[in-house]
Amino acid sequence: MIQDAKFPVLFLGARAATPEAVEAVHRFLRKHPIPVVETFQAAGSISRELAHLFYGRIGLFRNQPGDKLLAQADLVVVAGYDQSEYDADAWHKSPSLEILHLDWVPADYGAFYNPKLELVGSIAANVKALGDILATVSRPQESEAARAIFAEFHAWEQSPEALGRTAESGGDGPSFLVSNVQQTLGVALPVSGDGGFLYSGQELVTAVQQGCNITHFIWNDGKYNMVEFQEVDKYGRSSGVDLGGVDFVKYAEAFGAKGLRVSRSSELEAVMKEALSHEGVCVVDVDIDYSHNYELMKNVIQDSIS
């Protein structure tokens, strides 16, 4: 299958992100370089040495460079992938597309995930065996289509930064905001959603105890919106996504940090200045309206990939 394919693509899922599997994948790609995409759960599987073969991550909106690459493929070698990471109907659009399934978990067959062949067992061992057996493999990354997709994936590296006036930075100046300009490692200004913050928000107590100088902005809509708009898109309704109205100003104060709130855009600049001038831990609770996210996702999913 691989030797006959004109445009093979390697697709890495979460179970291919183990040290043993990653080592085998790297060895395979050094010998048989082909384009690679990965789910968000497999993040970090491709090293800088092999970055010229990496076309990004896929797993939410079906409009990423990796999605466009998969639309060109005639064979996808899927390693360690679980359909819960990214629904197969979002990336398997061509009836002629062939799939080779590599995993220690048998394939979960369906209308959009129907591998022509399965190699069930150690991912590392099977990838290594394939690398040893294969004589020649096409290099679709050298095609005009792949070159264009790769250029799109790296376009941000060529574009000048354009931060808003509030940031007071852009273009020739610093290209990121920092919570403390004395930090020589250049740690960017932390921003998270309210749900994401609550995964590890208790670490505020450590930051306060250690006298850290950190400013963190929280986009607060009171929900797991990343989950909500996908549920609405798929099922027409949401369930189990409300966070219960957490007051992050009081939350921060309870841990000994400073808490600030932004209720409207006109307050952002003044609050940002106050937060960044504070010596110590500061959490900024920013009210945000995500009610149109579903419309955005719906339009993106409907867009065709060519």
Instruction: Write down the domain spans for the chain.
Output: 2-156, 174-299
Are 252 and 281 in contact, with CB atoms under 8 Å apart? Answer: yes
C-alpha–C-alpha distance, residues 203 and 123, integer Å? 36
Can you give the pLDDT at residue 61? 75
Query: CA-CA distance, 221 to 286, in Å (whole number)?
Result: 9
Nearest one of 193, 265, 251, 253 to 222, comparing CA atoms = 193
pLDDT of residue 304: 47
The one-letter code for the residue type at 84 is: S
pLDDT digits (tens), the chain, 306 positions:
999 999 999 999 999 999 999 999 999 999 999 999 999 999 999 999 999 999 999 987 778 999 999 999 999 999 999 999 998 988 998 889 999 999 999 999 998 999 999 999 999 999 999 999 999 999 999 999 999 999 988 887 665 554 444 444 444 444 555 444 444 445 567 899 999 999 999 999 999 999 999 999 999 999 998 888 888 878 889 899 999 889 999 999 999 999 999 999 999 999 999 999 999 999 999 999 988 877 776 666 555 444
> Which amino acid would we find at residue 257?
A
Angstrom distances, CA of residue 199 to CA of 43, 135, 194: 19, 47, 9
- Same CATH fold, 174-299 and 2-156? yes
Instruction: Give residues with Cβ within 8 angstroms of 44, minimum separation 6.
Output: 17
Type of residue found at 192 = S
| pLDDT given at position 203 | 94
* pLDDT (0 to 100) of residue 39: 95
| CATH topology (fold) of 2-156 | Rossmann fold (3.40.50)
Q: Output the CA torsion sign for 234, 89, 295, 85.
A: positive
CA 62 to chain centre: 12
CATH of domain 174-299: 3.40.50.970
Sheet with 8-12, strands from edge to edge, namely 54-58, 36-39, 8-12, 75-79, 98-103, 117-120
Residue partners of 98: CB distance under 8 A and separation at least 6: 1, 5, 74, 75, 76, 116
pLDDT at 300 (0 to 100) = 63
Query: What is the model's pTM?
Result: 0.70
Distance separating alpha carbons of residues 283 and 216, to the nearest angstrom: 5
- Report pLDDT for 163: 44
Edge-to-edge order in the sheet of strand 191-193:
191-193, 214-220, 281-287, 258-262
Residue 301's pLDDT is: 52
Q: What pLDDT sits at residue 159?
A: 57
**β-strands 214-220, 36-39: how paired?**
unpaired
Picking from 216, 18, 186, 158, the residue whose alpha carbon sits closest to that of residue 102 is 18
Query: 260: which strand partners?
Result: 284
